[in-house]
Structure 1
Amino acid sequence: MSLFGEQTKPAVPAAKPALLLNDGEQQQSSPLLEYWRIVNAKKWGILALGVAVAAVALVTTQAMRPTYRATAEVLIEANKAKVLSIDEVYGGVGSNREYFQTQAEIMKSREVALRAIKKLKLWEHPDYNPRLEKPPVHQPLLDMLGMERKPQPQWNEDLLAAAVYQQIALGKDLNIQLVRLSQLVNVSFDSTDAKVAADFANAVGEAYIENDREARFKMTQQASDWLQNRTKALRESLEASERKLQDYRERMGVIRVDSTNQFGTAKLIEEVTQRLVEARMRRAEAENAYNQIKNSKIQNLNSIPAVIRNPLLLDAQRQLADAERKHADVSQRYGPEHPRMVQSQAELSAAQENLKRQVTAITSSVTNDYEVARATERSLEATLGQARGGAQADNRKNFELAVLEREVASNRQLYDMFVTRAKETAASQDLQSSIGRVVDYAEVPELPEAPKKAQITLMAFVLALLLGAATALLRARLDNTLKLAGDVENKVKQPLLSTFPMLDKKQRQQAATLSQQDPHTPFAEAVRTAKTGVLLSDIDQERRVLVVTSSLAGEGKTTTSCNLALSLSQNKRTLLIDADMRRPSVAASLGLDPHAAGLSDLIAGTKQLADVLQQLPGSQVDLISAGTLPPNPLDLLLSRRFDELLATLKQQYDMIIIDSAPCEMVSDAVALAPKATGMIYVVRAGETAAPLVVKGTRRLQRAGGHLLGIVLNGVDLKQAERYGDYGTYGQYYGNYGAPAKK
Structure 2
Amino acid sequence: MANSNGQAQITRGQIATDDEIDLGQVLQTLWRGKWVIALCAVLFLLLGAYNVFFRAVPVYTATAALALESREEQIVDIESVVTGLGGDQATVNTEIEVLRSRGLITDLVEDMGLVEDPEFNPEIRDKSGLSIGNAVKWVKGTILRMDTTEEPKEPQAIFDKVVENVMGTISVSNPRQTFVFQISVVTEDPRKSARMANRLAELYIADQINVKFERTEQATIWLTDRVSDLRVDLETAETRLKAFSASTDLISAEGLYALNRQIKELRDRRAALIDEVAKAELRATTLTANQDASVDQRAAAADDIQLNGLAGRAADGNEDALEAFDTRYALLQMRSAQELSRMQNQVAVLDASITDLAQRIERQSTELVNLQQYQREAEANRLIYEHFLSRLKETSVQQGIQQADARILSRAVVPQSPSAPRKGRGMALAMILGAIIGAAIVLGREAAQNTYRLAENIERATGLPVIGQIPTIPARRRKNVLKYLSEKPNSGAAEAIRNLRTSVLLADLDNPPQIIMSTSSVPGEGKTTQSLAMTQNLAGLGKKVLLIEGDIRKRIFGEYFEIETDKGLLAVLSGETTLDEAVRYNETLQADLLIGEASKVNAADVFSSERFNAFLREVREKYDYVIIDTPPVLAVPDARVIGQSVDAIMYAIKWDDTTKRQVADGLRSFQNVNVKVTGLVLTQINRRGMKQYGYGDSYGSYDSYYSN
Q: Is the 8 A contact 2:549 2:630 kept in 1?
A: yes
In the TM superposition, 1:203-218 aligns within 5 A as 203-218=199-214
State the distance in 1 between where 2:192 and 2:236 align.
65
2:544 aligns with one of 573, 577, 591:
573
2:237 aligns with one of 234, 241, 255:
241
1:616 aligns with one of 587, 593, 603:
587
**Is the aligned partner of 1:44 residue 2:40?**
no
* 3-state SS, counterpart of residue 483 of structure 1: coil
* 3-state SS, counterpart of residue 408 of structure 2: strand
* 3-state SS, counterpart of residue 403 of structure 2: coil
Corresponding residue for residue 100 of structure 1 = 92
1:291-342 Cα offsets, whole Å, 9 max, x none, are: 558846887999899977xxxx9xxx9xxxxxxxxxxxxxxxxxxxxxxxxx
Corresponding residue for residue 593 of structure 1 = 562
**Is the aligned partner of 1:731 residue 2:698?**
no
Q: Is the 8 A contact 2:516 2:648 kept in 1?
A: yes
1:150-180 Cα offsets, whole Å, 9 max, x none, are: 345569xxx87654312223x3x32233343
Q: Is the 8 A contact 2:469 2:496 kept in 1?
A: yes
Corresponding residue for residue 168 of structure 1 = 166
Structure 1 pair 670/595, CA: closer, same or farther in 2 (3 Å)? farther
1:376-406 Cα offsets, whole Å, 9 max, x none, are: 3432321221122223332343344334333
* 3-state SS, counterpart of residue 186 of structure 2: strand
State the distance in 2 between where 1:228 and 1:541 align.
116
Q: Is the 8 A contact 2:44 2:434 kept in 1?
A: yes
Corresponding residue for residue 383 of structure 1 = 353
Q: Is the 8 A contact 1:676 1:705 kept in 2?
A: no
1:185 aligns with one of 181, 185, 193:
181
Corresponding residue for residue 520 of structure 1 = 490
1:80 aligns with one of 72, 87, 98:
72
Deviation at 1:216, TM superposition (A): 1.6
1:560 aligns with one of 524, 530, 536:
530
State the distance in 2 between where 1:161 and 1:611 align.
98
Deviation at 1:266, TM superposition (A): 5.0
Structure 1 pair 698/71, CA: closer, same or farther in 2 (3 Å)? closer
Q: Is the 8 A contact 1:522 1:729 kept in 2?
A: no
Structure 1: gaps of 5 or more residues: 1-12, 318-353
Structure 1 pair 654/272, CA: closer, same or farther in 2 (3 Å)? closer
Q: Is the 8 A contact 2:521 2:663 kept in 1?
A: yes
State the distance in 2 between where 1:714 and 1:529 align.
15
Opposite residue 545 of structure 2, the aligned amino acid is T
State the distance in 2 between where 1:564 and 1:635 align.
25
Structure 1 pair 468/451, CA: closer, same or farther in 2 (3 Å)? same
1:614-658 Cα offsets, whole Å, 9 max, x none, are: 5425x63444555x7556683996589877877776665433334
1:277 aligns with one of 268, 279, 297:
268
Corresponding residue for residue 392 of structure 1 = 362
Calculate the TM-score normalised by the size of structure 1: 0.75
Opposite residue 245 of structure 1, the aligned amino acid is L
Deviation at 1:210, TM superposition (A): 0.6
Q: Is the 8 A contact 1:684 1:714 kept in 2?
A: yes
**Is the aligned partner of 1:232 residue 2:222?**
no
Opposite residue 151 of structure 2, the aligned amino acid is K
In the TM superposition, 1:115-514 aligns within 5 A as 115-129=107-121, 131-133=123-125, 149-151=150-152, 153=154, 162-169=160-167, 171=168, 173-252=169-248, 254=249, 258=252, 260=253, 264=255, 266-275=257-266, 277-278=268-269, 280-281=271-272, 284-285=275-276, 288=279, 292=283, 295=286, 372-451=342-421, 454-455=424-425, 457-459=427-429, 461-462=431-432, 464-470=434-440, 472-503=442-473, 510-514=480-484
State the distance in 2 between where 1:102 and 1:569 align.
91
Deviation at 1:224, TM superposition (A): 1.6
Deviation at 1:696, TM superposition (A): 3.9
Q: Is the 8 A contact 1:480 1:689 kept in 2?
A: yes
Q: Is the 8 A contact 1:497 1:710 kept in 2?
A: yes
Structure 1 pair 75/575, CA: closer, same or farther in 2 (3 Å)? same
State the distance in 1 between where 2:246 and 2:3 align.
143
Q: Is the 8 A contact 1:588 1:594 kept in 2?
A: no
Q: Is the 8 A contact 1:68 1:445 kept in 2?
A: yes
Opposite residue 603 of structure 2, the aligned amino acid is L
Deviation at 1:366, TM superposition (A): 7.9
Structure 1 pair 567/286, CA: closer, same or farther in 2 (3 Å)? closer
1:117-167 Cα offsets, whole Å, 9 max, x none, are: 333333343312455157875778599766985345569xxx876543122
Q: Is the 8 A contact 1:69 1:190 kept in 2?
A: yes
State the distance in 2 between where 1:44 and 1:122 align.
50
Q: Is the 8 A contact 1:40 1:723 kept in 2?
A: no
Q: Is the 8 A contact 1:20 1:493 kept in 2?
A: no
State the distance in 2 between where 1:210 and 1:690 align.
73
1:687 aligns with one of 652, 657, 673:
657
Deviation at 1:364, TM superposition (A): 8.7
State the distance in 2 between where 1:52 and 1:525 align.
42
1:415-474 Cα offsets, whole Å, 9 max, x none, are: 222221222221111111222112222333345444455555555555554555455445
Q: Is the 8 A contact 1:602 1:612 kept in 2?
A: no
Corresponding residue for residue 332 of structure 1 = none
Q: Is the 8 A contact 1:516 1:563 kept in 2?
A: no
Structure 1 pair 558/625, CA: closer, same or farther in 2 (3 Å)? same
Structure 1 pair 601/185, CA: closer, same or farther in 2 (3 Å)? closer
Q: Is the 8 A contact 1:67 1:449 kept in 2?
A: yes
Structure 1 pair 580/25, CA: closer, same or farther in 2 (3 Å)? closer
Opposite residue 164 of structure 1, the aligned amino acid is V
Structure 1 pair 713/305, CA: closer, same or farther in 2 (3 Å)? farther
Structure 1 pair 200/83, CA: closer, same or farther in 2 (3 Å)? same
* 3-state SS, counterpart of residue 108 of structure 2: helix
Structure 1 window deviating more from structure 2 (180-189 vs 368-377): it is: 368-377
Opposite residue 175 of structure 1, the aligned amino acid is S
Corresponding residue for residue 348 of structure 1 = none
Structure 1 pair 460/596, CA: closer, same or farther in 2 (3 Å)? farther
* 3-state SS, counterpart of residue 526 of structure 1: helix
Structure 1 pair 550/419, CA: closer, same or farther in 2 (3 Å)? closer
Q: Is the 8 A contact 2:544 2:591 kept in 1?
A: yes
Q: Is the 8 A contact 1:128 1:167 kept in 2?
A: yes
Corresponding residue for residue 315 of structure 2 = none
Corresponding residue for residue 635 of structure 2 = 665
Deviation at 1:577, TM superposition (A): 4.2
Calculate the TM-score normalised by the size of structure 2: 0.78
Structure 1 pair 232/118, CA: closer, same or farther in 2 (3 Å)? same
Deviation at 1:77, TM superposition (A): 2.5
1:695-733 Cα offsets, whole Å, 9 max, x none, are: 445656777977543322123568879999996853333
* 3-state SS, counterpart of residue 734 of structure 1: helix
Q: Is the 8 A contact 2:582 2:594 kept in 1?
A: no
Corresponding residue for residue 89 of structure 1 = 81
Deviation at 1:533, TM superposition (A): 3.1
Deviation at 1:265, TM superposition (A): 5.4
